[in-house]
A and B are shown apart, each in its own frame.
Chain A
Amino acid sequence: MSYVITLLRMSVGSAFVRPLAASSAVVLMLANNLLFFITFVIYFGNFSSLRGWVREDLALLVGCTCWAFGLAVFLTGGIRDLANMIASGGLDGYLGRPRHPLPALLLSQSIPAGLGDMVSGVLFWTVFAHRHLAELPLLLLVGTLGAIVVGASATLFQCLAFWLSGAAVLAEELFEMFMMVAYYPENPFSFAVRLLLLTVFPAGFVAMLPAEAVRDADPRKLVACAAAALVYAGLAWLVFERGLRRYTSGSRIIELR
């Protein structure tokens, strides 16, 4: 645990080496999310509901997505760079360490704009979704479970680089697709689509199910979110392990020496 905390302290510290650039990224990401939400404000200005969902429910959902994505990239920004590291032989330096390489890889960088997303998440929940402050611990819990699913899914996409050449672009596109789906309400969709979003492409666990767990005060949905976080994190770990067996050194250790 102290190893993880040390890695975290170092990556977050390095993200704020240029405080002005980092702070402006935080503020601009916050503005970016607020601008995005205007589309839903306009939508609900014209229409009463979307299959029973109103503006406050959408704010709850967008807040969950913002918190999950923000927390994932702020703490484990290395998830966006894993495929490049695998393809370029950058894993060599991590494989030489006495600890498992995955935590160090994920915690290798922190993206400060993620903090802007996290602030947006809290703002969406408390101001636009009119959620009471007493609900904040529950919201932070479901949002954090969503963040684990974001991190695990990104790791799974990036691990494609173990099997496919030029997978970095593919992984990035898959991740963008994943996040795009998470930003929109899935309640208008059929059972088959919802099933897809809760299994092979688990964007439903990032915001849809967490938002429904809070909205419907349903403990079963909360348990499902926690179980999904565990299952996908375990799956990401397993796939990374399998991938490592295929990994061929890029001889970067010579550069290190």
Chain B
Amino acid sequence: MPSRSDWGALRAFAILGWRRAAAEGLATLMRGGLNVLALGIFWGFWQATPLDELGRRDLTPQRLIWYLAMTEWIVFTTGVPYREIEEDVRSGAIAIGLSRPLGYAQACLARWGGGVAFRLPVFAVIGFGAALALSRTVPLAPTMLLTGLISALLALTLVHLCHLMIGLGATWTGSATPVHWIWQKGLFVLGGLIIPLHLYPAPLRDIAELSPFAAMLSAPASLALDPSPRHAATVLTLQSVWLAVLAACAWLMDRAATSSLIERGI
């Protein structure tokens, strides 16, 4: 359990993360533009798709664009935070982080949390605004909005725990970028970034649904396709299980990376 001074330090790092995110005005705006562009591309894409071939009435371009708006919301809010750790390892600045009373990983997560707190509403306005303008519908009932937000926050926590582990991997490999490429494509494909998982062929769908990637993207976005309370409960349970698993993995990896850096140096 963090002490009172630890809480103070975590708060300070979160504020630092918020301020840094707020200072990236132009970059945030550009990412917002990229988000809108992606939604525009796939709006055209889904409208040109012969969806009637599926024989399902629930899959419309409107619902699919909201599904994408949800997955893109998580992707754009996250950015590529693992690069900060990679850069710290490369430049040796991680030594300063390790000498602080607050753990390096905790400080990173707090700083990223502050950044997320800034970007989450910004990209919600941009992405959902674009989805609304394109589809002229909102598939989520107002009572489910809170569930959607909780699910998105759980998804973002899972994604950031993965970024923490990818970044810490640079302690051994020097560069975490190639691992990130593979992880990112795993997230896009097994997480169902563009296409909902239930459209996947049977063996791949089973693998994807059992993977943590589904809890990061498909689970919260599937609320746009099935907003029933029963489905919401399944989604939140799945995400909570993966949160416990990934938090334990991140804790073990942080300990291993710290020991390696202390014993072996940078």
The chain A residues found within 8 Å of chain B, CB to CB, are 21, 24-25, 28-29, 31-32, 35-36, 38-39, 42-43, 45-51, 113, 166, 169-170, 173-174, 176-177, 180-181, 184-185, 187-190, 193
The 0/1 profile, CB within 8 Å of A marked 1, for residues 16-36 of chain B is 000000001011001101100
- Does any Cβ of A come within 8 Å of B146's Cβ? no
Q: With contacts A46-B54, A50-B48, A169-B24 known, is A35 near B182, CB below 8 A?
A: yes
Binds A, one of B101-109, B154-162, B192-200: B192-200
Residues of B in contact with A, size category:
35 or more
Q: Complex Cα distance A10/B44, Å?
A: 45
Q: Complex Cα distance A47/B50, Å?
A: 7
- Does any Cβ of A come within 8 Å of B204's Cβ? yes
A31, B182: Cβ atoms closer than 8 Å:
yes
- Does any Cβ of A come within 8 Å of B265's Cβ? no
Q: Considering only CB atoms, which chain A residue lies closest to B27 in the complex? A: A169
A42, B200: Cβ atoms closer than 8 Å:
yes
Total cross-chain contacts (CB, 8 A)? 92
Q: Considering only CB atoms, which chain A residue lies closest to B38 in the complex? A: A180
Q: Considering only CB atoms, which chain B residue lies closest to A36 in the complex? A: B185
B44, A188: Cβ atoms closer than 8 Å:
yes
- 12 pairs from A and B in contact (CB 8 Å cutoff): A31-B185, A39-B188, A39-B189, A39-B195, A47-B50, A49-B50, A50-B48, A170-B26, A176-B34, A180-B37, A180-B38, A187-B48
Binds A, one of B130-138, B173-181, B238-246: B173-181
- Does any Cβ of A come within 8 Å of B259's Cβ? no
Q: With contacts A36-B188, A177-B37 known, is A28 near B26, CB below 8 A?
A: no
- Does any Cβ of A come within 8 Å of B47's Cβ? yes
A35, B189: Cβ atoms closer than 8 Å:
yes
Residues of B within 8 A of A48 (CB): 50, 53
Q: Complex Cα distance A33/B175, Å?
A: 19
A32, B181: Cβ atoms closer than 8 Å:
yes
Q: With contacts A36-B185, A177-B34 known, is A46 near B48, CB below 8 A?
A: no
Q: With contacts A180-B37, A181-B37, A188-B45 known, is A170 near B53, CB below 8 A?
A: no
How many whole Å from B21's CB to the nearest CB in chain A?
A: 13
